[in-house]
Amino acid sequence: MLVLVAPGQGAQTPGFLTDWLALPGAQDRVAAWSDAIGLDLVHYGTKADAEEIRDTAVAQPLLVAAGLLSAAALGDIAPGAVAGHSVGEITAAAFAGVLDDGAALTLVRRRGLAMAEAAAVTETGMSALLGGDPEVSVAHLEKLGLTPANVNGAGQIVAAGTVEQLAALAEEKPEGVRKVVPLKVAGAFHTHHMAPAVAELAEAARALTPADPAVTYVSNKDGKAVATGAEVLERLVGQVANPVRWDLCMETFKELGVTALIEVCPGGTLTGLAKRALPGVKTLALKTPADLDAARQLVAEHA
């Protein structure tokens, strides 16, 4: 059984869409999306520097567009399940047929703008903790006033909070943690700092008409499979201020009997976690179009 997954913010790098836009029809497709949402995705995916694409309002639509474009390049595939990390859940909702591409990009544009506005209120950020015992790390984060915003499994937790709190974490790592790595994001996502964005996203969601998932849709709120489009949309709204439980998604993958995992562009983060947490599951990250043939072979063997 194949699961198709989409990464979250921080996976983007300068120029990562360049090779993808050389595929037939890709540039026109992305240009049309750009016109529809009022954001030049072609420019940001090819010529913008790291700081420009760190902007939440830019990064989120860019990631969803990249995920949709790379999945389309795979052809007509039938994964057994889909899931996304943070903003990648919107990409996954499109994979499952809950939202069409246009609705997904419209929603993520509103999400990015709302979260950027919320992030501007207080200077905040996120840092990944590598290694250590999860219970020990969570207790330490709470002592510092930080939130375990992403519990990713495979020994990784992402802390979120103010820059002062994150500086204190860098100085005083939890016992057993090897390294604290600042992430390329512009706010404390999936925490109470994002509460103002929830109302904005709820308003945007009311204008959409979701369909029920055509394949198993695994929610990163709790790792549960969600059966209705209405609930998927409700969870997409609430998750901006709630922690991401990717560890529970991977537990569900095990229960579903997943044998292969493909991560859409810009792949790498979620396949890395899967290699450590899902032994025996074949993984592949779509980084450039050069990965498509191997991905199609994996689809043929496991879809």
* Annotated domain spans of the chain: 2-120+191-302, 124-182
Tell me: domain 124-182, CATH 3.30.70.250, correct?
Answer: yes
- Say if residues 35 and 27 touch (Cβ distance below 8 Å): no
Q: pLDDT (tens digit, 9 = 90+) per residue, 49-82?
A: 999 999 999 999 999 999 999 999 999 899 999 9
The dihedral over CA atoms of 147, 82, 1, 286, expressed in degrees to the nearest 10, equals -90
Q: Could you tell me the pTM of the whole model?
A: 0.94
Please say if the pLDDT value at position 156 is more than 90. Answer: no
pLDDT category at 285 given cuts 50, 70, 90 is very high
* CA–CA gap between residue 81 and residue 79 (Å, rounded): 5
* CA–CA gap between residue 226 and residue 238 (Å, rounded): 14
Please say if the pLDDT value at position 303 is more than 90. Answer: no
CATH topology of domain 2-120+191-302: Malonyl-Coenzyme A Acyl Carrier Protein; domain 2 (3.40.366)
Task: Read off φ and ψ for residue 6, nearest 5 degrees.
Answer: -125, 130
* Residue of 184, 159, 177 whose CA lies nearest to 54: 184
Half-sphere exposure of residue 287, counting CA atoms within 13 Å on the CB side?
10
- Say if residues 37 and 12 touch (Cβ distance below 8 Å): no
Cβ-count burial of 62 within 10 angstroms (0-12 exposed, 13-18 middle, 19+ buried)? Answer: buried
Q: Note whether 2-120+191-302 and 124-182 share their fold.
A: no
Residues in the chain: 303
* CA–CA gap between residue 69 and residue 17 (Å, rounded): 9
**Among residues 70, 127, 140, 190, which one is catalytic?**
190
Secondary structure letter of residue 22 according to DSSP:
G
Name the percent of the chain lying above pLDDT 90: 94
- Say if residues 84 and 8 touch (Cβ distance below 8 Å): yes
190 is known as an active-site residue: yes
Q: pLDDT (tens digit, 9 = 90+) per residue, 92-137?
A: 999 999 999 999 999 999 999 999 999 999 999 999 999 989 889 9
Where would I find the H helices in the chain?
A: 26-37, 41-46, 50-54, 56-74, 88-95, 101-119, 134-143, 163-171, 195-206, 229-238, 246-256, 269-277, 292-302
- Say if residues 67 and 91 touch (Cβ distance below 8 Å): yes
**Among residues 86, 127, 137, 219, which one is catalytic?**
86
